Chain A
Amino acid sequence: MAAKLRFVRHSPLPGFRLSLGATLLWLCVLVLIPIGALVLRASEVGPVGIAEIALQPRVFAALRLSFSLSLAAAAFNVVLGGIVAWVLTRYEFPGRKFFDAAVDLPFALPTAVAGIALTAIYAPNGWIGGPLATLGVKVAFAPLGIFVALIFIGLPFVVRTVEPVLADLDFEMEEASATLSAHRFRTILLVIVPSLIHALLTGFVLAFARAVGEYGSVVFIAGNIPFVSEIAPLLVVVRLEEFDVPGATTVAVVMLALSFFMLLAVNSLRAWIGRRLGHAFV
């Protein structure tokens, strides 16, 4: 009892032990133990073994492909999503509410459905892939296709993160900038965008994290040719099918570790920016 009193502030409400206990139990069984198994298995491979496997050409190529395309797609989404968020927040036009609601579609659509749909569109005989093929651009079954799929799934993250911040933006700052003789483009560059950097970075992080681990949307359009268009999650599956558990575990753990460190770096940047602006991120 005494220990519990130090751990939790006293409250008249019932059910603390029950709810916390259930939560912890569920968390352990469903999340911690599986992740623990992953970590344990990776430690059995050992750091040397992990390094060896990670540096195998095929593995290295898959990791490099996944991370570089995820970064690129997330960066692209920051620009694209920023513009879309701007238009949806600032302008009135017929169907605006409809388009605003539609932005969530990649969230709601199962990844496999998105995967085959994107493949159909960008294949050499598809609606968009066809005309592009005559120009010599191959989208489906090439890294470019992966890039397009990652943009699809990442766009809502940026738009939804930026929209509320944009809506809360103090319009008087823009007016002040205008009275100080700055023309619109300058105001956007010097006043509005810096105010949005924190939200844009957040959207970037979310889009990137999702893109790195994305499987269903990508695996159909990618072509999956080792060294060329094979993403890291697919490699995990391939290794499992070959009964190469250490190999699969290594790729998985390296993916997690790399993502973790990148997220840590970007989140530190976000926190630093947040501190510089005081408690108001806007």
Chain B
Amino acid sequence: MELRIRGLHKVFGHSPALRGIDLDIASGELLGLLGPSGSGKTTLLRTIAGLESPTAGQIFFGGEDASVRSVQDRRVGFVFQSYALFRHMTVADNIAYGLQVRPRRARPPTAIIRKRVDDLLDMMQLAGFADRYPAQLSGGQRQRVAFARALAVEPRVLLLDEPFGALDAQVRKDLRRWLREIHERTGHTTVFVTHDQDEALELSDRVAVLNRGRIEQIASPDEVYERPATPFVFGFIGHSNQVDVTVAQGRARFAGVDIGAAGNGIPCGKGHAFFRPQHATLRGGDSSALRGAVRSIRRVTALWHAEIVLADGRTMVEVGVPEGAPFTEGDPVSIDVHCYRVFAAATG
């Protein structure tokens, strides 16, 4: 089931949460919505589900305009961050709920419902838990029950709201792997929301990066990481350094020194140059245009980063250094940047 979203706007009171979202999701795709708090990703997900009604815009499920349908009629599967399991029902009753509330005509016979519940429990590796209550389950188990419950109704789209947000790091890792497997097995069009970049980049077929109600970039994880389309995406994904430069005649200048080409189509004036710590090398002396002094060298998980104060005395950048590199605090250094991108400064 492919999804098309056109011109979606959502305003809460006076604050806009979504400012014109256009999105096409292919059938069977696993799409990650990534962004900081307040970026609108959860609002977008909930609007697709019908839990919020848009202020403007349309949502199409297949060819059909879903905006006119209530949430009950959209046949989406929604998994909440806090699971939202029905505490007074057993696991089996929770999973069967979506099938049992159907009107008599549309309701499958009890035996079929039971079989479906059992099949899902097997798929979720929760066989034998049918008669337990949510209070008796661990966080990871509850989340899988929530999944099973959403899958039981054979949804057209599966929507996951920070599905692993409330879980321990190890459980999160296991469930991520498990989600990928389930997705490959069932093939549902899936949209999930996360603020965790690793999760988005690891799981998604495509990632949509949201910021303040707009989609900054939507592309494959590789694309988003290696060729970020906007300053926000560059700064949000992975580690990055931002150096404010002046652009003139297609060249970028920093502290009066020409440091490289600015790339095509960048207008003259103020700009931001971005590069990642691992795309630059440190050299002693002043062999390259970008110069500075080492502030400190520290470990960042598996790697070592050197913090450099640039020639203007204010800008700080981080550059990856191999372990045991011969630099100490105060050393003057030059930075060779192999890969960088210049963006025009935003005008207001």
Contact = CB atoms under 8 A, between A and B. Distances in A.
Per the CB under 8 Å rule, do A and B touch in the complex?
A: yes
Interface of A: 170, 172-173, 175-183, 186, 190-191, 194-195, 197, 276-280, 282
B101 A186 contact: yes
B261 to A, nearest CB: 51
Contact of A282 (B78, B82, B87): B87
B133 A180 contact: no
Contacts, number: 81
Contacts of B257: none
B133 A278 contact: yes
A92 B78 CA distance: 28
Interface in B75-112: 75-78, 80, 82, 84-89, 97-98, 101-102
Nearest to A193: B88
30 contacts: A170-B82, A172-B82, A172-B84, A175-B51, A175-B78, A176-B78, A176-B80, A176-B86, A177-B86, A178-B50, A179-B49, A179-B71, A179-B72, A180-B153, A181-B98, A181-B101, A181-B153, A182-B72, A186-B101, A190-B86, A191-B86, A195-B87, A277-B87, A277-B133, A278-B87, A278-B134, A278-B135, A278-B136, A280-B135, A282-B87
B203 to A, nearest CB: 22
B101 A279 contact: no
Interface residues of B, number: 30
A52 B150 CA distance: 63
Nearest to B51: A175
Nearest to B93: A190
Contacts of B135: 277-280
B73 interface: yes
B147 to A, nearest CB: 12
A181 B75 contact: yes
Q: Which of A177, A186, A197 has the most CB atoms of chain B within a 10 A radius of its CB?
A: A177
A181 B72 contact: yes
Q: Which of B74, B86, B133, B149 has the most CB atoms of chain A within a 10 A radius of its CB?
A: B86
Contacts of A177: 86, 97, 101
B97 to A, nearest CB: 5
A181 B82 CA distance: 20
A194 B97 CA distance: 14
